Structure 1
Amino acid sequence: MRLSGKQKRAFRFIGITAAVYLSFRFLLPLVIPFLLAYWIGLAVTPSAKWMKEHLRIPEVAGAVIMMLLAGIILAGVCFLLGEQLVQQLSRLAERLPGYLDTAQRWLEGCCRSAERFFHLEDGLLLQKAGQMLQNAGEQLQSTIMPMVMENSVSIVVWVIEVTTVLAITIMAAVLSVKEREGIRKLKEESMYSREIQMVCKPVARVGQAYLRSQAIILVIIIAICITGLFLIGNTYSVVLGILIGLLDALPLFGTGTVLIPWALILLVTGNFYQAAVLLTVYLVCYFIREILEAKLMGKRTGMTPLETMLVMYVGLRLFGLIGLFLGPIGWLLIKEIDKTLKVA
């Protein structure tokens, strides 16, 4: 039976989807350090070539120098942010009893008002609320403590694994610079060179475009949120700025989930300057994401918000939390490979 053009395309699309899913499920965990190493090598190669031409430094040594500089800068930034994070978390822990007392007084006031409104016995709602909070605290404690004890060894193993993978990635990045010509020649002389190019080009283009754009946008938005909270004198500007910035990476939430209600509360209480700053931060973050996504990703590979939400949910169901990132990348790869095979 001869297949029609639509049937052929449907089978091709199903095959590509299955191949991408199986690659993400079984192959990606094995090769991801080397993919990262290859991209790092590509990033430092121009600087290494410049150092070789102008400073007479060997290309591999130049690549190592650039990686060390990037690592030192990244470590410095992380140290400064981490220091502020620890200080603000310590301050929060010191003031937490006062915050809890304020919350308790607010709860007591709400319960008394409700008792008067519904003509209930004095102290009834407050007693029930206290019992519920006590039960919730006991249940949380009984759940968290065993979990911490059981997973303490797993955390140590995870740290060792991450350190090992990081070391392998750095060494592989240096070797990828050293053996760049050999890798290129191997791809060109392979009997599957056409197929390799057909798959690798869209994979590299889409993967780099998505990860690079999301990383740049995330850093910029976190910096904007921290700056805005610092301007209104918030004591926990770094902690909250990082959390709000991370929310922006999720289409279901975004910075508006926190900033808009917060700004409205400030408006109602008469804090117009702080409300204006938070609304400005929200608008700046919104337009930054819209502009940079269109610029960095390009309209050809861009996705609508509904499409992004759908593939992120599918990725979450298939791969867990990391699927929030693998979902969009996988969908873009499927479309790009399908388009390439259609043209071929």
Structure 2
Amino acid sequence: MNKINTKKLLLRSFFIIAFLLAVYFIIPVSIPILVAGLTAFFLEPIVMFFKRRWKMSRRMAVTVIYTVSALIIAIVCYFTVTQLMAQIIFISKHSPYYISKLSLMWFNIQNNISQYTENLPHEVSISLQKTITDFIKTMEVSFLDFFNYARVTAFFSKIPSFFIDLLVYMIALFLFMLDLPKIKQLTYQYLKPNTANKLKLISSRLKDAFIGYWKAHLLVSVIIGIVTLIGLLLIQPKYAITLTIIIWLIDIVPFLGSIIILAPWGLYHLLVGNVGIAVKLFILAAILLIIRRVVEPKLMGEHIGLSTLPTLIAMFIGLQLFGVMGLLVGPFVIIFFIALKETGIIKFNFKI
């Protein structure tokens, strides 16, 4: 009997180690496919809604949603890749001019500061001017290092690989969306009824959170669009409506935000000498950033089923650990663990 148990234990250990090794080596090269599967999973409620609301077949509903998703991805790629490439090339060519203009501007500011601080103690005045000089030099070095030839070349060399991954993702997404019910049914065949029910509960919880996330995100984007329109009407009335629409469309895309437009725009006016407009644009960008960081956690918590404080903590920790992607990953990790606790898979029934 002991030999049989030992054999089972060794066999299970072997399969666990083999599974972990497979995960370690396969997952890094399967990111597009895994992301496509997750996307299909989160789009499933929309597919079911189309089927019920307009009496569509699954293939027709999937085709409509996939087409809309492909158009959105194409638009995002155009703005984030094509325009980014053009701007990087432009800035790389004109970086010496911008650096000289920026240095001249800071030199004038330094002269003004020296005039304002002439009544201060000599040591304080010298220290303040040295700090500003060091800051200018650091900024110049950082700017030139970021846009140097090696970095730009490395960025462009990754573009073909990115489009290959994007093509694999799009193909896998369509196939996952079509076959998701079959995949679920096949998965449930290998699970006990109790385990299958728990998995369904966790899936339902994550779907509700995903839909709530987008509701909250769109609501925050509407608020930001209204504030942007009011601000631009006061700053640049001539282009207010057009730029508000552009900023709002970009802000809808997670992790981009209005700062992508307002910061370079303000920097441009700062470089050409329009300090007043630049300051106003930076103030508007700061206001929009504050709105997103203050209002978003509250609305996000209400729509995804978490209170404001855990949502804020999850988003902050996620940002620190995973970058901007962590703003989305953090709350969903908390929801996932809550779902595991609700189904009894993990238990925290202890006292200290």
Q: TM-score by structure 2 length?
A: 0.57
Q: Percent identity of the aligned residues?
A: 14
Determine whether 1:223 maps to 2:228. no
Higher mean alpha-carbon deviation, 323-332 vs 130-139, is at 130-139
Tell me the equivalent position of 1:206.
Answer: 206
Amino acid at match of 1:338: K
Determine whether 1:33 maps to 2:36. yes
Q: Where do residues 169-184 of structure 1 align in structure 2 (5 Å cutoff)? A: 169-176=173-180, 180=181, 182-183=182-183
Equivalent-residue separation in structure 2 for 1:72 and 1:218 (angstroms): 23
Cα 1:104–1:32 change in 2 (3 A) is same
Amino acid at match of 1:171: L
Q: Is the 8 A contact 1:221 1:245 kept in 2?
A: no
Cα 1:64–1:100 change in 2 (3 A) is farther
Tell me the equivalent position of 1:111.
Answer: 114
Residue 43 of structure 1 is aligned with which of 33, 43, 46? 46
Equivalent-residue separation in structure 1 for 2:231 and 2:193 (angstroms): 53
Gaps of 5+ in 1: 1-22, 259-268
Determine whether 1:194 maps to 2:198. no
Cα 1:32–1:193 change in 2 (3 A) is farther
Amino acid at match of 2:340: I
Q: Is the 8 A contact 2:35 2:169 kept in 1?
A: no
Equivalent-residue separation in structure 2 for 1:88 and 1:24 (angstroms): 37
Cα 1:65–1:222 change in 2 (3 A) is same
Residue 235 of structure 2 is aligned with which of 233, 236, 247? 233
Q: Is the 8 A contact 1:222 1:244 kept in 2?
A: no
Deviation readout 1:155-201 (Å, 9 max, x if unpaired): 4423432342133213322343xxx3x44544554443421330342
Equivalent-residue separation in structure 1 for 2:250 and 2:79 (angstroms): 19
Deviation readout 1:123-143 (Å, 9 max, x if unpaired): 997688456524541354245
Tell me the equivalent position of 1:17.
Answer: none
Deviation readout 1:60-88 (Å, 9 max, x if unpaired): 13431343245447767997999999999
Deviation readout 1:271-315 (Å, 9 max, x if unpaired): xxx9xx999979986896477435422xxx31332x334434544
Q: Where do residues 299-338 of structure 1 align in structure 2 (5 Å cutoff)? A: 301-305=305-309, 307-316=310-319, 318-338=321-341
Amino acid at match of 2:39: L
Cα 1:226–1:156 change in 2 (3 A) is farther
Amino acid at match of 1:219: S
Q: Is the 8 A contact 2:319 2:325 kept in 1?
A: yes
Tell me the equivalent position of 1:3.
Answer: none
Higher mean alpha-carbon deviation, 286-295 vs 144-153, is at 286-295
Equivalent-residue separation in structure 2 for 1:73 and 1:329 (angstroms): 23
Deviation readout 1:227-268 (Å, 9 max, x if unpaired): 23333234795599579969x989xxx9xxx9xxxxxxxxxx
Gaps of 5+ in 2: 1-22, 264-275, 348-352
Tell me the equivalent position of 1:166.
Answer: 170
Equivalent-residue separation in structure 1 for 2:109 and 2:302 (angstroms): 48
Equivalent-residue separation in structure 2 for 1:225 and 1:44 (angstroms): 34
SS of residue paired to 1:60: helix
Deviation readout 1:213-239 (Å, 9 max, x if unpaired): 453345334423432333323479559
Q: Where do residues 1-344 of structure 1 align in structure 2 (5 Å cutoff)? A: 29=31, 31-51=34-54, 53=55, 58-69=57-68, 71-72=70-71, 103-119=106-122, 129-130=132-133, 133-134=136-137, 136-138=139-141, 140-142=143-145, 144-145=147-148, 146-176=150-180, 180=181, 182-183=182-183, 185-186=185-186, 189-206=189-206, 208-210=208-210, 211-234=213-236, 289=296, 292-293=299-300, 295-297=302-304, 301-305=305-309, 307-316=310-319, 318-341=321-344
SS of residue paired to 2:235: coil
Cα 1:219–1:160 change in 2 (3 A) is farther
Amino acid at match of 2:144: Q
Cα 1:338–1:324 change in 2 (3 A) is same
SS of residue paired to 1:174: helix
Deviation readout 1:302-330 (Å, 9 max, x if unpaired): 1332x334434544555454333222211
How many matched pairs? 287
